[in-house]
Amino acid sequence: MRLVIQRVSGAKVTVDGHIAGEIGAGYVALVGAEEGDTIKDIEYAVGKTAGLRVFEDAGGKMNLALADVGGAILAVSQFTLLGDVRKGRRPSFIDAARPEAAEPMFNAYCDALRALGIRVETGIFQTHMEVSLVNDGPVTILIDSRRRF
């Protein structure tokens, strides 16, 4: 599972002109499920997302987690995170999980975060979405459950 986590002061996702999900301070989590991902990959991604300490404490150090600041997550499924551009200029998405496998994995990721008491808003799976956000910092973190970077 591959994620891009952006610390935001606010974000929303719109589908067909209607807001599907919206948060104030917290994270936008772009989530890509990979072929062969298992519950272990989901658990790793959830643990890293919930445990990230990228909010500033009173001393100005990135030392606080999402729960410490009462933040929320706007999670958006994004298979293009698995795009491979090592050969040529057109991305190959062969490593991305098929929609019938990716959707339950994305939902399990969101449900596991909710089980930790985190408010999670989402886009709508397999639709064209417009994501608007204000990246706070900017702070952007990459997470890969297979630890390739």
Amino acid at 92: S
Q: Of the listed 6, 49, 55, 78, which one is catalytic?
A: 78
Q: 10 Å Cβ neighbour count for 43?
A: 15
Catalytic residue among 80, 126, 127, 140, which? Answer: 80
- Is 6 catalytic? The answer is no
**C-alpha distances in angstroms, 121 versus 35, 45, 62, 92, 134?**
24, 17, 24, 29, 16
Q: What is the DSSP string of 58-109?
A: TTS-EEEEHHHHT-EEEEEE-GGGG-B-SSSSSPB-TTBPPHHHHHHHHHHH
> Is 78 a catalytic site residue?
yes
Known catalytic membership, residue 127? no
Q: Which of 81, 58, 63, 74 is nearest to 14 (CA)?
A: 74
Rounded to an integer, what distance in angstroms lies between the CA atom of residue 107 and that of residue 104? 5
- Kindly name the residue from 6, 49, 55, 79 that is annotated as catalytic: 79
**In angstroms, rounded to a whole number, what is the distance separating the alpha carbons of residues 75 and 18?**
16
- State the catalytic residues: 78-80
